[in-house]
Amino acid sequence: KVAIVGVPKTIDNDIGLIDRSFGFKTCIEQARKAIECARVEAASAPNGVCVVKLMGRDSGFIATHAVLSSRDVDLCLIPEVPMITEGPTSVYRHLRNVVRTKGSAVVVVAEGACQESLENTNQKDPSGNKVYADVGSWLKRQIQANFTKHSMECNIRYIDPSYIIRSVPANADDSEYCTLLAQAAVHGAMSGFAAFSAGLVNNRTVMIPITMIGETSPRKQNIGRVWARVVASTGQPF
């Protein structure tokens, strides 16, 4: 007999039921470093704006937690929250106000954000996932055009640290977590169980039927208290 078991593998942290997927803490740690570099880059030019694109196809877990970890971001855009471009809560108006006040601004955008405003690529990757248009390059152009429209100088930069973040060794927290998951998976298989995934739920290592994982994934970032903390940190209007 062959026992089929799994572990929660995705950097986006969008697997249902579990507390987090392995690699997520390392990802946040490295994303924060990219944001720190973006802040220095933005502040080094008159009316500097730096856009940082982070991973997150359908959820904003990486973007929101990196922003909360950094507390150095002025605007965060995620797939779960529509981007407002007109009126008093416009993202562009907010950025212009930030630049007038602080002299520079940092924007963090999840790769799956704002896709409703981008051209459909009509392509799929080898895994069958829809290929998204590059929101970072698009957002850079939109911000530049809006500042020009309002006769404001804007020295804008774009950073995509995705592959740098993916390639770093796991930190101590994720290394320990991987050990717990591996031991739980092997222990379950050797005990006669199959078709389950090891995972952390309420900080306890458990075995979850793979069908339940499929039914609850991908999950979305809860637009509640966590998002309220992001808005309080960035000062953005939504």
Give me the percent of the chain exceeding a pLDDT of 90.
87
Q: Are strands 48-54 and 155-159 parallel, antiparallel or unpaired?
A: parallel
pLDDT band at residue 122 using 50, 70 and 90 as cut-offs: confident
- The pLDDT of residue 142: 97
Give the residue with greater pLDDT, 217 vs 94.
Answer: 94
Q: In what order do the strands lie in the sheet with 204-209?
A: 5-6, 196-201, 204-209
Contact by Cβ (8 Å): 160, 25: no
Contact by Cβ (8 Å): 118, 83: no
Give the residue with greater pLDDT, 128 vs 48.
Answer: 48
Q: What average pLDDT does this structure show over 183-190?
A: 96
Give me the percent of the chain exceeding a pLDDT of 70.
100
> Does residue 160 carry a catalytic annotation?
no
Kindly name the residue from 12, 58, 74, 174 that is annotated as catalytic: 12
The answer to whether residue 137 scores a pLDDT higher than 90 is: yes
69-86 residue pLDDT tens: 999 999 999 999 999 999
11-40 residue pLDDT tens: 999 999 999 999 999 999 999 999 999 999
pLDDT band at residue 111 using 50, 70 and 90 as cut-offs: very high
The answer to whether residue 146 scores a pLDDT higher than 90 is: yes
The answer to whether residue 126 scores a pLDDT higher than 90 is: no
How many C-beta neighbours within 10 Å does residue 104 have? 22
- The pLDDT of residue 235: 97
**Where do we find the tokens 């050797």?**
190
Q: What average pLDDT does this structure show over 105-132?
A: 90
Q: What are the phi and psi torsion angles at 107 (to 5°)?
A: -115, 130
pLDDT band at residue 128 using 50, 70 and 90 as cut-offs: confident
Say how far apart CA 114 and CA 111 lie, in whole Å.
9
